[in-house]
Structure 1
Amino acid sequence: MTDLTPNSTFLIAGIVFITIAVIGQSKLAFIEINPGCFGRILALFIGVSSLLYALGILNFSAENLDLLRNSLTEEIKQRISQINEILQGS
């Protein structure tokens, strides 16, 4: 038996959630799936996010989050005078 890698797990979850979003109300054996409008939109969002993560397009690693935080911090430091002008001008 093979172990499920995170990519295959997200791929399977993405396909399941996309199926729920597209089909909507259905009956699977004794389980009835009726997500409603918000549930279908949520399933679509989760499904697309899972598929993008499985394909490597959407990557939330700690290195990427640190890089994003550092770049935002540097950008704010560079623009602090403009931010102060905007806040004082209002």
Structure 2
Amino acid sequence: MTSFPSTNGFFIAGIVFLVIAVLGQTKLGFVEINPGCFGRTLALLIGLISLAVALFGGTSSVETLELLRTYLTNLIQQSMGFVNDFLSGS
């Protein structure tokens, strides 16, 4: 349970950085966000890394990782079937 608060911190930081990367130049209330191209790219990179740390830091059990792998494998197989049907139908 000691890793739970740090996982939440990485998760929140990842979401905040991804919001900065997506919104770009905007005004949120009294705060104006204008990171520029390099700042948006850096925010995207930091956000993705933070979310990856939160995901793999919070799921240390083998069963959870196995379920995630199975889910992603099934999702990819279903997506490939959809893509193949779409390409053959056109």
The TM-score, its normalising length taken from structure 2, stands at: 0.57
Matched, 1:10 2:10: yes
Equivalent position of 2:44 in the other structure: 44
Letter in 1 for 2:34: N
Gaps of 5+ in 2: 58-90
Q: Which has the higher helix share?
A: 2
Identity %: 61
Structure 1 gap segments, 5+ residues each: 58-90
Structure number with larger C-alpha Rg: 1
The TM-score normalised by the length of structure 1 is: 0.57
Q: Per chain length, whose mean CA-contact separation is higher, i.e. which structure has more relative contact order (CA < 8 Å, sep 6+)?
A: 2
Number of residue pairs matched?
54
Pairwise CA RMSD? 1.4
